[in-house]
Amino acid sequence: MKHLRNIAVLMLALFAMSIADEGMWTFDNPPKKQLKDKYGFDITQEWLDHVRLSSVRFNDGGSGSFVSANGLVMTNHHVGAGQLQKMSTPEKDYIKTGFYARTSAEEVKCVDLELNVLMELENVTDKVMTAIAGKNGGEAMQARRTVLAQLQKESNDRTGLRTDLVTLYNGAEYWLYRYKKFTDVRLVMAPEKQIAFYGGDPDNFTFPRYDVDMCFFRIYENDKPYSTTNFLKWKTAGAADGELVFTSGHPGSTNRQQTYAQIEYSRDYQYPARLATFKRTIAVLKQYSALGEEQHRRADGMIFGYENSQKAMTGEYQGLLDKNLMAKKLQDESDLRAKINANPEWKTKYGWAWDSVASAMNKTKSRFKELTYRGLSGSMAGRAMTIARYAIESKKPNGERLPQFQDAMVKMTLENLYSPAPVYADMEEVLLTDRFKEAQEMLGSNDPWVKAVLNGKTPEEAAKYYISGTALADPAARKTLIEGGEAAISKSTDPLIQLALVVVPIGDEMRSWQDKNISGVIAMSSEATGKGRFAAYGKELPPDANFTLRLSYGQVKGYPMNGTLAPSITTMYGLYDRAHSFANKPDFELPQRFKDGVSKLNLSTPMNLVSTNDIIGGNSGSPVINAKAELVGLIFDGNIESLPGRFTYSEEKNRAVSVHPGVMIETMRKLYDANILADELEGIIAQPAPPKESPAKPVKPTAKKKK
Amino acid sequence: MKHLRNIAVLMLALFAMSIADEGMWTFDNPPKKQLKDKYGFDITQEWLDHVRLSSVRFNDGGSGSFVSANGLVMTNHHVGAGQLQKMSTPEKDYIKTGFYARTSAEEVKCVDLELNVLMELENVTDKVMTAIAGKNGGEAMQARRTVLAQLQKESNDRTGLRTDLVTLYNGAEYWLYRYKKFTDVRLVMAPEKQIAFYGGDPDNFTFPRYDVDMCFFRIYENDKPYSTTNFLKWKTAGAADGELVFTSGHPGSTNRQQTYAQIEYSRDYQYPARLATFKRTIAVLKQYSALGEEQHRRADGMIFGYENSQKAMTGEYQGLLDKNLMAKKLQDESDLRAKINANPEWKTKYGWAWDSVASAMNKTKSRFKELTYRGLSGSMAGRAMTIARYAIESKKPNGERLPQFQDAMVKMTLENLYSPAPVYADMEEVLLTDRFKEAQEMLGSNDPWVKAVLNGKTPEEAAKYYISGTALADPAARKTLIEGGEAAISKSTDPLIQLALVVVPIGDEMRSWQDKNISGVIAMSSEATGKGRFAAYGKELPPDANFTLRLSYGQVKGYPMNGTLAPSITTMYGLYDRAHSFANKPDFELPQRFKDGVSKLNLSTPMNLVSTNDIIGGNSGSPVINAKAELVGLIFDGNIESLPGRFTYSEEKNRAVSVHPGVMIETMRKLYDANILADELEGIIAQPAPPKESPAKPVKPTAKKKK
């Protein structure tokens, strides 16, 4: 540190290209020009169709891909974890021990996993536009709803495929996405959570990383492994540093096309408020958790969940606090508005929308505290609210009810209500107390909601009164009330039901004010901003993510980090370094299999990799593929610098983090005794003949007239 | 990333202690109370004496320690590198290949290495205060100079030890530090620079780290290994996570006790200007370097040097831009001033000083651009300036000359001037051109200096004129001018000499203005702020670092980094991870010995460690010791977060980075065939009998009357 020293040319090598690897692109509109200009890659329809049909959606919020001709589907351990949990018993804890089925007979059927493959995309924008032509406001909204419902029903009836309505570009395009739906899905292989989520929450959302976050399922049809030609060929060697790679998956949501006023509102109101609430809730839960072993067990999962969200939201919030990021958002918006205002027709149609959003956001601010802090917490209070709402909603005609009380949904709502899951009254009381305290602090003691819930008591007294007096911990008590209907509910002496009956109307007043003054305005205005952007830039920019299939491109590439460089890959050496560095303590302890098996491993095997692909939550489990559509990685996270990606993409430091195929094969063969699976992935066993099913239908990038 | 996940309790474990491990403490005033309160450690005079006498100063800017009874001294490779360079030949490149002397006979004598051991400290503050009592301003300064020179001479004559004058607490204390001086120092062992500085500049100033930055010398007296009982016992196992550890070494300088006005000036003027100059100079050098192989070779070292400084200064500047850091500095100063102003005597004596500094800084700002941008660059221009100054200074009486032209120094100045080191005229021209351009941009074309140097030419033309026309590349030409004296110099037609003769008076005007308005005021005022702080807090706070021996304490401890945790140690597994992650490319390539020898190593051997010890440049080579004064580490760097440590210490993230004794022994025994050295360190060979020299004299913490 005292003397002058060498510097790496590496660090200063400037990347000459100016196009950023931004965008989660729909398959009807791939970034052809960018790929050609920056990477010299010609993307073809055949390539796109093959990748699309090799991509799998995990309906509970993740992505996956076909990796063999026999219906083998790869995703992340953390995407499959819900199913692993459900199929585990105290004797067979698959989360803890992992799982491997050597034969088809050993594969275990998932409890309720639905996988989808996107077979067809139909642009119905023209049909929608025709239906709403000449209509305005509420009339237009109703017409749109009607035509979409009709298109969806027709599609379902005609194709037998699951048809989802998809709105893109804030409402500038409407599509039908048709999925083949699979429900017979069986577990093939999962490692121990300890290695899948190695490094635990500290390493979560970071890189360098050392996780084997993989999980393999197999799709069955008619009790036989599903046969397909659309699967990704495996490449154990992975991709080279700097190589062009793609991901195909289902990013959940981004807010990149929100207006500046909305983002400012997030920065100045939503994020600080939510993070402050997280902070106090975590503190309260930790205080509770410290009371004893059992309290620790009860609160643990909840603390973990809050802290994980806190970490992610803190990263997003840091982005919003970054003046450069905000200046860029403002500049982009100014450019777009200038372009729109320069065209008289566009100006009339869309020019008003940004100010309209801003004014709605300002109105929201006027009631921000009420909208934010007038809320209960805990599962018992939540159930009391459901019962109280049921009393009110069930009197209304079906179409006017809140969605969860409409005929189509009410069954599931009541099933959830009657869940026998254990309720911890002492923890609920602690949470409710803090909610009351927060409301009192933020709204003042004279707020009607605060007055109503406290009713002259202190927060502690009130929470104790409601929780200790309620019978709702018992599912039977809930059922009795529902079955007694409005009469029973309105006469109930259960203090928590009485509380719910008092607060429901206050909530209703807020919601109807919000619907009238905010939500409707924002929906209309956002659609106009989307259409304006679309008019100005067409499909040069992809639409915000919405859990539909997207393609992103990028390259395998390290980045400047912590004063030095993060490499583009890590190796198994690093896994053992981290374990020994932390003396094998929790979060960094290796599974016994990895401790015992170290001498069998080639420790220079690549473990995780980073690439510039633009992804977000929901992309977990997405395949990373090379230009030949060969599998070279498995997305499982983003780095800490990628968290502001909700609002904007920066190629300098945003990175997608993947499991390298090398470590999957190395551990399967040497630690998991899973040579059969590794052979299937590496195509060592002869692939079966092409499937009998009809060949995949091509993508339909433009609207077609169909009856 | 999509699902909720676990979090480590680790990450949130709050450190309950409130005393920060801050301070580079003088040995007369160790942090007894802090050590007792925070770590329950009772520091004794015997412990302090032993550690002091085991500590070694490398006079060219580093630290070291005795690690055997036979005069073996350990320091960093980068501290020893200057000597390694000097004793290398094209056939024997010790920097590249490393070095190991199996026997005493094989040890190679260093060219000009002086090592010092601090034998005695004498506080002479009372003597100085007596000498200046009743005097003011210039008279006081002269009296202080006189008494200090006299004390130093007396000490040298009486003790035969090298005596340094030491000013502490901005002038609130004066000390004599007496050193035993060693000049027969021989090289014992050095690894390849490639592993000593593994990770190169990218990893410089960062952690996690994987460097074996060690170098071993042996001190000889009368041609025999120096025998001492004051050496640090080696502990190969190192220290445990959380263990109390100390460093004893020679931090070069800190600016922690500068006033807020000075720090603001650094933030708003000095750092941005210097970084901007670095940036353009690096760009110009890179442009030059890109011209060809030979240009690359010429510019390479200079680019490296600038970039290293740029990295360090950027880190320091980040600290100054941190609003929390600046707010804390301001608060500390306000607290101190309030305390001083509350005491009428202190208020009179010191209360004025902060405003006085601020006003001097404001005056500096008024001429900041002239003071900053009126300068030449390159070694030829520098030599022309020396020659021109020589002509002027040599006419003055000895005492009035600039220091480098006084009798005591002029010989060395002229030796440097006559150096036959090669001069690259094309590179000098490029640098001088950019200096002229920068001056023109910053000062305008009408600035007298700019007018004088350009003399109607463009920057390119002017630089070409001066450099192409000068004969100063030839050392003989320089010598001829000096030997011709003022007459020859003033009549020289060498364009670079003519340039120097024009700019010297402009520089003199600035310096005399600065001396009168700034430097003198700041010296007086700083002394008053130091005395004020001393009056208010006594020795609760240590003085700023000044390359005198300091003790710092702390604990082995990881820290939050990059969204996760940095562990407190790294292991050799991590070295191989980093090498393979970067495909063994430059800066991350392993020496052949490490590639070939991997299977011999225990890869879980600890490699580097971090601790909260407060250090800065100059501490390189300092021992890290445990409470028993056993050697558990070798300081070689700080992490990137420690760079603002020049201005303030933050325990949360500042870390000292050390080489672990484990990796030194492991590599010596398994890769360097250096079992004999490892045995000597681990005390496996029986230690010789106690030395014949008189036992070390105890530290003298208070002033003593001596003649």
pLDDT tens, residue by residue, A582-627: 999 989 999 999 999 999 999 999 999 999 999 999 999 999 999 9
Q: Sign (positive/negative) of CA torsion B29, B30, B33, B34?
A: positive
Under DSSP, the state recorded for B517 is I
Q: Which domains does chain A have, with CATH numbers?
A: 16-114+183-255+543-682 (2.40.10.120), 260-531 (no CATH)
Q: What is the pLDDT of residue B685?
A: 66
Measure CB to CB from residue B573 to each of A199, A252, A577 and give the nearest one: A577
Flag whether residue A243 sits within 8 Å of chain B, measured between CB atoms: no
How far is Cα A47 from Cα A44, in angstroms, rounded to an integer?
Answer: 5
- Enumerate residues 6+ apart whose C-beta is below 8 A from B505: none
How far is Cα B520 from Cα B515, in angstroms, rounded to an integer?
Answer: 6
Question: For residue B282, what are its two tokens?
Answer: 């690096």
Give the A window 70-99 contacts with B, CB below 8 Å: 78-79, 81-82
Distance set, CA A112 to CA A184, B565, B568 (Å)? 9, 37, 44
How far is Cα A474 from Cα A493, in angstroms, rounded to an integer?
Answer: 15
Q: What are phi and psi of A384, to 5 degrees?
A: -60, -40
Question: For residue A367, what are its two tokens?
Answer: 């009631």
Q: What is the pLDDT of residue B100?
A: 97
Q: Which of B581, B653, B658 to mutate to test the interface with A (most CBs of A within 10 A)?
A: B581
Say whether B573 and A570 touch across the interface (CB within 8 A). Answer: no
Q: What is the pLDDT of residue B699?
A: 43
**Alpha-carbon B381 to chain mean position:** 27
Q: What is the pLDDT of residue B700?
A: 44
How far is Cα B522 from Cα B349, in angstroms, rounded to an integer?
Answer: 15
CB-side neighbour CA atoms (13 Å) of A356 = 18
Q: What is the pLDDT of residue B7?
A: 28
For all residues of chain B together, what is the average pLDDT? 90
Question: For residue B502, what are its two tokens?
Answer: 């024009």
- Percent of chain B exceeding pLDDT 90 equals 76
Residue B179 and residue B120 in contact, taking contact as beta carbons nearer than 8 Å? no
Cα angle: A527, vertex A533, A537; to 5 degrees: 150
pLDDT tens-digit series, residues A305-361: 788 789 889 999 999 998 888 999 999 999 999 999 999 999 999 999 999 999 999
What global pTM score does this model have? 0.86
Give A664 or A651, the one with higher predicted confidence.
Answer: A664
Q: How far is B460 from chain A (nearest CA, A)?
A: 27
Instruction: Identify the band that residue A685 occupies on the pLDDT scale cut at 50, 70 and 90.
Output: low
**Alpha-carbon B126 to chain mean position:** 30
Q: What is the pLDDT of residue B17?
A: 38
How far is Cα B583 from Cα B585, in angstroms, rounded to an integer?
Answer: 5
Say whether B576 and A78 touch across the interface (CB within 8 A). Answer: no
Query: Would you say how long chain A is, in residues?
Result: 707
Q: What is the pLDDT of residue A686?
A: 52
Flag whether residue B15 sits within 8 Å of chain A, measured between CB atoms: no
Flag whether residue A373 sits within 8 Å of chain B, measured between CB atoms: no
Residue A468 burial (C-beta neighbours within 10 Å; 0-12, 13-18, 19+): exposed
How far is Cα B497 from Cα B472, in angstroms, rounded to an integer?
Answer: 9
Give the A window 53-72 contacts with B, CB below 8 Å: 61-62
Residue B402 burial (C-beta neighbours within 10 Å; 0-12, 13-18, 19+): middle
Residue A202 and residue A582 in contact, taking contact as beta carbons nearer than 8 Å? no
DSSP string, B650-701: -TTT--EEEE-HHHHHHHHHHTS--HHHHHHHHT-SPPPPPPSSPPPPPP--
Say whether A562 and B562 touch across the interface (CB within 8 A). Answer: yes
Strand B233-234, strand B162-168: pairing: unpaired
Question: For residue B379, what are its two tokens?
Answer: 């070694």
Say whether B201 and A582 touch across the interface (CB within 8 A). Answer: no
- Enumerate residues 6+ apart whose C-beta is below 8 A from A162: A116, A156, A178, A179, A180, A181
Residue A661 and residue A633 in contact, taking contact as beta carbons nearer than 8 Å? yes
Q: With contacts defined as CB-CB under 8 Å, which chain B residues touch A570?
A: 577, 581
User: Which chain A residue is nearest to residue B640, measuring alpha carbons?
Assistant: A563
Under DSSP, the state recorded for B544 is P
Residue B29: CB atoms within 10 A of its CB come to: 18
Flag whether residue B495 sits within 8 Å of chain A, measured between CB atoms: no
Residue B280 corresponds to which amino acid? R
Q: What is the pLDDT of residue A701?
A: 39
Q: Sign (positive/negative) of CA torsion A276, A277, A280, A283?
A: negative
Q: What is the pLDDT of residue A119?
A: 97
Distance set, CA A159 to CA A147, A154, B438, B620 (Å)? 18, 8, 72, 74
How far is Cα A619 from Cα A229, in angstroms, rounded to an integer?
Answer: 23
Q: With contacts defined as CB-CB under 8 Å, which chain A residues touch B580?
A: 571, 573, 604
Closest CA to B253 of B129, B343, B368, B167: B167
Q: What is the pLDDT of residue A696?
A: 44
User: Which chain B residue is nearest to residue A588, measuring alpha carbons?
Assistant: B8
Residue A274 burial (C-beta neighbours within 10 Å; 0-12, 13-18, 19+): middle
Strand A606-611, strand A656-659: pairing: antiparallel
Residue A689 pLDDT exceeds 80: no
User: Which chain A residue is nearest to residue B203, measuring alpha carbons?
Assistant: A564
- Alpha helix locations (H) across A115-196? 125-132, 137-159, 193-196
Mean pLDDT confidence for B561-579 = 97
Measure CB to CB from residue B581 to each of A309, A569, A619 and give the nearest one: A569
How far is Cα B668 from Cα B191, in angstroms, rounded to an integer?
Answer: 9
Q: How far is B107 from chain A (nearest CA, A)?
A: 24
Buried b (16+ CB within 10 A) or exposed e, A330-339: eebbeebbee
- Percent of chain A exceeding pLDDT 90 equals 76
Q: What are phi and psi of A646, to 5 degrees?
A: -55, -35
Q: Please report, in angstroms and rounded to a whole number, the separation of the first and last CA atoms in chain B.
A: 75
For all residues of chain A together, what is the average pLDDT? 90
How far is Cα B460 from Cα A570, in angstroms, rounded to an integer?
Answer: 49
pLDDT tens-digit series, residues B54-107: 999 998 889 999 999 999 999 999 999 888 988 888 788 898 999 999 999 999
pLDDT tens-digit series, residues B146-205: 898 899 889 988 999 999 999 999 888 999 999 999 999 999 999 999 999 999 989 999
Flag whether residue A242 sits within 8 Å of chain B, measured between CB atoms: no
Give the B window 577-596 contacts with A, CB below 8 Å: 577-578, 580-583, 585-587
3-state helix, strand, coil in chain B (%, to 5): 50, 15, 35
Flag whether residue A307 sits within 8 Å of chain B, measured between CB atoms: yes
Residue B626 burial (C-beta neighbours within 10 Å; 0-12, 13-18, 19+): buried
Residue B587's region, left for phi above 0, alpha for psi from -120 to 50, else beta, is left
Cis previous bond, A591, omega within 30: no
Residue B233: CB atoms within 10 A of its CB come to: 17
Residue A610 and residue A242 in contact, taking contact as beta carbons nearer than 8 Å? no
Residue A614 and residue A607 in contact, taking contact as beta carbons nearer than 8 Å? no
User: Which chain A residue is nearest to residue B63, measuring alpha carbons?
Assistant: A2
Q: With contacts defined as CB-CB under 8 Å, which chain B residues touch A3?
A: 61, 78-79, 81-82, 620
Q: How far is B633 from chain A (nearest CA, A)?
A: 16
| DSSP bridge pairs for A99 | A190
SS3 A633: strand
How far is Cα A329 from Cα B331, in angstroms, rounded to an integer?
Answer: 36
How far is Cα B520 from Cα B526, in angstroms, rounded to an integer?
Answer: 10
Say whether A567 and B582 touch across the interface (CB within 8 A). Answer: yes
Residue A389 corresponds to which amino acid? R
- Enumerate residues 6+ apart whose C-beta is below 8 A from A358: A259, A261
Query: Would you say how long chain B is, in residues?
Result: 707
Q: What is the pLDDT of residue A520?
A: 82
Q: How far is B515 from chain A (nearest CA, A)?
A: 30
CB-side neighbour CA atoms (13 Å) of B493 = 0
Say whether B567 and A576 touch across the interface (CB within 8 A). Answer: no
How far is Cα B39 from Cα B78, in angstroms, rounded to an integer?
Answer: 33
How far is Cα A470 from Cα A492, in angstroms, rounded to an integer?
Answer: 11
Under DSSP, the state recorded for B64 is E
Q: What is the pLDDT of residue B642?
A: 94
Q: What is the pLDDT of residue A9?
A: 29
Measure CB to CB from residue A617 to each of B1, B200, B585 and give the nearest one: B1
How far is Cα A189 from Cα A214, in angstroms, rounded to an integer?
Answer: 8
Cα angle: B154, vertex B155, B160; to 5 degrees: 115
Closest CA to A552 of A644, A619, A632: A619
Alpha-carbon dihedral B685, B689, B693, B694, rounded to 10 degrees: 120
Residue A484 pLDDT exceeds 50: yes
Cis previous bond, B208, omega within 30: yes
**Alpha-carbon A85 to chain mean position:** 19
Residue B609 pLDDT exceeds 80: yes
Strand B108-109, strand B185-190: pairing: antiparallel
Question: For residue A702, what are its two tokens?
Answer: 């433009």
